[in-house]
Chains A and B, each alone.
Chain A
Amino acid sequence: MSLLSKTLSVALGLVLLQGVPGRAQVYADSSTQLDKYLVPVTTPSAAPDAEGFLGRWLLLEPISKPNRSNTVFTDSYIREAFAKEYFKGQLGDVLPKDGAKVKVTVEYQPPVNLQGGRPAFSMEAPAYEKKTVRLQWHAMDSKRFNVKLFRFATNLTEDRYGVIFWAATVVNCEEDIPNVRMAVGSNSASMWWLNGEEAVILSGDRRMVADDVMSRRLTLKKGRNVIWGAVINGPGMSDFCVRFVDEAGKPVKNITLTTK
C-alpha cells in the first residue's frame, strides 16, 4: 500500500469512527432581517435543496387569527379554520400573482408589547376587535431548509402571533413520479394539499420537525403540480418544511419549483 493509500485509509477510518457527517459549527447570529431567511424570487425556476426541501413559495402575509394557546389546534379546529375562504382561488390551480393583494376582514388582537414580558394568562378568550386589512402575496426563495414564516411576518407586517399563513408553490415534473410521499414539518399546526386533494394534516401544538408527518403514496404528475399549505399558530415561531421522498426514503430532486 502506498503512503497516499495509507493516508487515505487512515483518514477514511477516522471519518467512519466519527460516525457522523461533517458539518461546520453553526455560530449564533442575532440578526433577524428578512434576507437572512427569505429573498424575493429573481429566477424563473428553482431546484429543491440538497436534501430535497422545497424553498420557493408564494407566501401571503399573515391573517390575524388570535389564539392564546396552541393546544386548541385539534384536527376539527384546523379543518374548520382552513375551510373558510380567505381569498378567491384558494386551493385552486392558478396561483395568485406575486405582489397581488387580498382584502380580508379578520379578528384582531393588538400587538404584544415585547418589552412587557409574558402577558397574564387567562383561559378566557379576550374580546377581539375586527378589522379589514389588505394582505400581499410575496414570491420568496428560502435560504434555509425551512421557511421561516415568523421572520416573514416580523419583517413585513405587524402580526406575528395568533396568525394563519397561506403558502403555495408549483412542482414541475418532466414525467410522472409515482409512489412519492409529501413530508412535512410545521410550527404549529398545518394542512397541505396536492393538486386540490388533501395530502397531509399536522394537528396539535407542533414544533417543526423535518419529516414529522408524511402523506400516503402520491403521484407527482408530468407537468404542473400545485401545492397549497396553511399554517396556524398562536404564540411561537411559525415555520414549515416540505419535501417529497421516494419509496426508499430518498429525497425527490428531479423537479423544479415555480410560483406561476
Chain B
Amino acid sequence: MTKDMKTKLFLVGAIALFCMSAAAQVGHPYIHDPSTIQECDGKYYTFGTGGGGLISADGWVWESGAVRPGGGAAPDAIKIGDRYLVGYSATGGGLGGGHAGRILTMWNKTLDPNSPDFAYTDPIEVAHSEVDEDCDAIDIGFLMDPDGRLFCTFGTYFGNIRMVELDPKTGARKEGAKDIDVAIDCEASTMMYRDGWYYLLGTHGTCCDGVNSTYNIVVGRSRTPYGPFLDNVGRDMLKGGGKMVVAAEERRFGAGHFGRYIVAPGVEKMSFHWEADLDLSGRSTLAIRPILWKDGWPEAGEIVSDGNYKILSRRRGYALELTVDFVRAQGGMRGFFGQQDETVVVIENQRLEEVIGGWPAGEIPVRCSDYMARPHQKWTIEAVPEAGGYLGGPWYKIVIEGTGRALTAVEGHELTTAPAFTGADEQLWRIDQLIDGTFRIVPKAIPGCHHPERFCLYSVADSTPTLARFNFEDDNAKWDLNKR
C-alpha cells in the first residue's frame, strides 16, 4: 500500500467516523427546506424542495424515499385527524426573478408510498402572490391552534411574511379569510403555539451559499395568531425583530426552515436544515435538535456529545455512582492551620487504579450520593453508531470512565452495572434533553418489559435510582449531565 493510498484510506475512515458523529443525523440525510417531521405507521417523514423527501424507521437514520408530487419549493406537512395535509409552493422564489407564487395544499391518508392507501388529492391553491408585489408566496408553514383553527404562513425576503386561516376540513382557504402581514425580511416561516402564546419562526441571513450561508432561525411571539409578533426586546417582526433560536455550529452552517415535533409533554424537537455540513461534503442536511424553553422563548438544545460526565439527579443533586466502598483519598485530614511559608503542592484526584481492585468483579448495583469526584462516580457517555437511534439522537452506552462497566436495565425495572458493555439493548440508552434543559434517560430494553420506552432513570429516593414512568412534572425523572 502506498503512502498516498494510506493517506486516502485514513481520510475515508475519518470521514466515515464523522458521518457517525452524534451531532448529526446519519444515513443519507440530504435535504433542503425540510417540512415538519411527521410520524406515520411507525416511520418518520420529511419532504424537501424539489419533490421527494426522507424516510426514517427510527428518527436517526434517514434515507431518501418520501414521495411528494408537484415539485416546487419548501413544503410543510401536518396531521389533521387521520389524514396528512401537505403544502408546497409551485412557483416563485426568485430573488432576482419572478415572484408570482402559488401556495398549494393536498391530502393523503398515509405518507407511506408503499401503502395501498397512498394517494394525494388534487392540489388546491390557498394563497398566491403577484409577479411584483411585496410578497413571494412560497415557504408554507402550518399551525393548528388549541381551538382547532388552522393557519398557514408564507413568504420570503421579497417583502412580507403573510398569514392566512385555512379550513381544517378541506385544507382550502377559509371562506372570507384575508392575508395578514406578520413579518418582513424572513424566509421559511412557520408558527407554533405554547402557553397562550403564538410564536412566529422565521429564517434570516443568507440562503443557498454553502458553508458561507448565514441562515439563522429567529422568533417573535404574540397573544394572537394575527400579531404583532414581538421579540424579546419588544421589536415587531414587521420591523425586522426576532430572537435567535438556532445559528451555526462549529461544523455546520446555515440553520433554516424550522419545524416543531412534540414527542411527549416536556420532550420537544425542532427539525431544520443545515445549509452545509462540513462532515458531509458541505451538503445541505436534515438537523434535529431538542427545543429548550427559557423564560417563554424557544432555543436549540444539544444532542449529547461523547465525553465524560457526572450524572446528577434533579431530585437532590446527588450523583449516580457504583455501590462500592468509599475509599478515602490522599491528602487526608491535615489540620486547618498550616505555616504561612509552606510550599504549595497540588494534590491529585483519586485515580481509578487506586480503587478498582476493591470493586467486585461481577455486577455492581448503582445508587446516588453527593459528588466527590471519585472514580465510581465518573461516567463516560458515548454514542453506539451501529445501534441506530431514535428521533434526534443515537443510542448511547453509559460506562464507568476508564472501564467497560456499563449501566444496565434489569428485570423488575431496576438497574445495575455489568462488568462489560456487550451492545445488548438493555445497555443502550436514549438521552433526550428536555424543554427545561435537563435530561431524560430511557433504556432501549428492560428484560420482561414490553414498553421500555415508557420508563426512565428515576430517583425513587435521594440515594436510590430505579426505572419508573417518565413524567416531566416530576424532578425524580430528570437528570443533569455535567461534562467534566
CA of A32 to CA of B160, assembled, Å: 13
Q: Is A25 an interface residue (CB 8 A)?
A: yes
User: Do A205 and B214 have beta carbons less than 8 Å apart?
Assistant: yes
Residues of A within 8 A of B178 (CB): 27-28
CA of A114 to CA of B96, assembled, Å: 8
Stretch at the interface among A81-89, A192-200, A207-215: A207-215
Residues of B within 8 A of A252 (CB): none
User: Do A112 and B97 have beta carbons less than 8 Å apart?
Assistant: yes
Q: Is B239 an interface residue (CB 8 A)?
A: yes
Which interface residue of B98, B186, B240 has the most chain A CB atoms within 10 A? B240
Residues of A within 8 A of B227 (CB): 23, 25-26
User: Do A118 and B96 have beta carbons less than 8 Å apart?
Assistant: yes
User: Do A210 and B239 have beta carbons less than 8 Å apart?
Assistant: yes
Knowing A71-B206, A115-B131, the reply to whether A210 touches B235 (Cβ < 8 A) is yes
Interface bits B112-143 vs A (CB < 8 Å: 1, else 0): 00000000000000000111111100000000
Measured CB to CB, the closest approach of chain A to B243, in angstroms, equals: 12
User: Do A210 and B240 have beta carbons less than 8 Å apart?
Assistant: yes
Measured CB to CB, the closest approach of chain B to A212, in angstroms, equals: 7
Interface bits A215-246 vs B (CB < 8 Å: 1, else 0): 00000000000000000000111000100000
Residues of B within 8 A of A116 (CB): 97-98
Interface bits A1-42 vs B (CB < 8 Å: 1, else 0): 000000000000000001111010111111110000000000
Interface bits B165-176 vs A (CB < 8 Å: 1, else 0): 000000000000
CA of A154 to CA of B238, assembled, Å: 22
User: Do A32 and B230 have beta carbons less than 8 Å apart?
Assistant: no
Knowing A20-B223, A28-B178, the reply to whether A118 touches B240 (Cβ < 8 A) is no
> How many A residues touch the partner, as a band?
35 or more
Residues of A within 8 A of B239 (CB): 145-146, 185, 209-210, 241
CA of A20 to CA of B232, assembled, Å: 11
Chain B's closest residue to A70 (CB) is B206
CA of A22 to CA of B100, assembled, Å: 32
Looking at chain B's contact residues, is the secondary structure mostly helix, strand, loop, or mixed?
loop
CA of A147 to CA of B39, assembled, Å: 45
Q: Is B268 an interface residue (CB 8 A)?
A: no
Point out the residue from B96, B132, B157, B236 that lies within 8 Å of A207, measured CB to CB.
B157
Residues of A within 8 A of B99 (CB): 114
> How many B residues touch the partner, as a band?
35 or more
Chain A's closest residue to B208 (CB) is A121
User: Do A209 and B98 have beta carbons less than 8 Å apart?
Assistant: no
Measured CB to CB, the closest approach of chain B to A2, in angstroms, equals: 29
CA of A19 to CA of B204, assembled, Å: 26
Interface bits B210-243 vs A (CB < 8 Å: 1, else 0): 0010100000001100111010000110111110
Measured CB to CB, the closest approach of chain B to A148, in angstroms, equals: 9
Point out the residue from A25, A118, A154 that lies within 8 Å of B132, measured CB to CB.
A154
Interface bits B439-483 vs A (CB < 8 Å: 1, else 0): 000000000000000000000000000000000000000000000
Chain B's closest residue to A28 (CB) is B179
Q: Is A161 an interface residue (CB 8 A)?
A: yes
Measured CB to CB, the closest approach of chain A to B418, in angstroms, equals: 53
Q: Is B388 an interface residue (CB 8 A)?
A: no
Q: Is A44 an interface residue (CB 8 A)?
A: no
Interface bits B191-209 vs A (CB < 8 Å: 1, else 0): 0000000000000111001
Point out the residue from B96, B134, B222, B235 that lies within 8 Å of A211, measured CB to CB.
B235
Interface bits A111-138 vs B (CB < 8 Å: 1, else 0): 0111111110000000000000000000
CA of A46 to CA of B354, assembled, Å: 81
Residues of A within 8 A of B236 (CB): 23
Q: Is B158 an interface residue (CB 8 A)?
A: yes
Measured CB to CB, the closest approach of chain B to A25, in angstroms, equals: 4
Interface bits B395-431 vs A (CB < 8 Å: 1, else 0): 0000000000000000000000000000000000000
Chain B's closest residue to A30 (CB) is B133
Q: Is B71 an interface residue (CB 8 A)?
A: no
User: Do A26 and B209 have beta carbons less than 8 Å apart?
Assistant: no
Q: Is B299 an interface residue (CB 8 A)?
A: no
Q: Is A190 an interface residue (CB 8 A)?
A: no
Q: Is A258 an interface residue (CB 8 A)?
A: no
User: Do A115 and B206 have beta carbons less than 8 Å apart?
Assistant: no
Interface bits A143-167 vs B (CB < 8 Å: 1, else 0): 0011000000010000001000000
User: Do A115 and B98 have beta carbons less than 8 Å apart?
Assistant: yes
Interface positions, chain A 166-209, Cβ under 8 Å from B, are 185, 187, 204-205, 207-209
Which interface residue of B185, B227, B230 has the most chain A CB atoms within 10 A? B185
Q: Is B94 an interface residue (CB 8 A)?
A: yes
User: Do A27 and B131 have beta carbons less than 8 Å apart?
Assistant: no
User: Do B162 and A212 have beta carbons less than 8 Å apart?
Assistant: no
Residues of B within 8 A of A208 (CB): 184-185, 240
Which interface residue of B157, B186, B239, B241 has the most chain A CB atoms within 10 A? B239
Residues of A within 8 A of B179 (CB): 27-28
Residues of B within 8 A of A114 (CB): 97-99, 131-132
Point out the residue from A25, A115, A145, A209 that lies within 8 Å of B241, measured CB to CB.
A209
Interface positions, chain A 39-69, Cβ under 8 Å from B, are 68-69
CA of A25 to CA of B98, assembled, Å: 28
User: Do B160 and A118 have beta carbons less than 8 Å apart?
Assistant: no
Measured CB to CB, the closest approach of chain A to B220, in angstroms, equals: 10
Chain A's closest residue to B229 (CB) is A20
Residues of B within 8 A of A23 (CB): 227-228, 236
User: Do B222 and A20 have beta carbons less than 8 Å apart?
Assistant: yes
Residues of B within 8 A of A211 (CB): 235
User: Do A26 and B96 have beta carbons less than 8 Å apart?
Assistant: no
User: Do B241 and A28 have beta carbons less than 8 Å apart?
Assistant: no
CA of A20 to CA of B93, assembled, Å: 33
Residues of B within 8 A of A146 (CB): 239
User: Do B206 and A118 have beta carbons less than 8 Å apart?
Assistant: no
Q: Taking A30-B135, A209-B185 as given, write out 10 further A-B residue pairs in contact, using a Cβ cutoff of 8 Å, ordered by the A residue number.
A: A18-B223, A25-B226, A26-B182, A28-B160, A29-B134, A30-B129, A118-B98, A209-B239, A210-B239, A210-B240
Q: List 6 A-B contacts (CB under 8 A).
A: A28-B135, A30-B129, A30-B135, A71-B206, A71-B209, A118-B95
**Lowest 5 A-B CB distances belong to which pairs?**
A209-B240, A207-B185, A28-B179, A118-B94, A210-B239
Binding site for A on B (CB under 8 A): 93-99, 129-135, 157-160, 162, 178-182, 184-186, 204-206, 209, 212, 214, 222-223, 226-228, 230, 235-236, 238-242
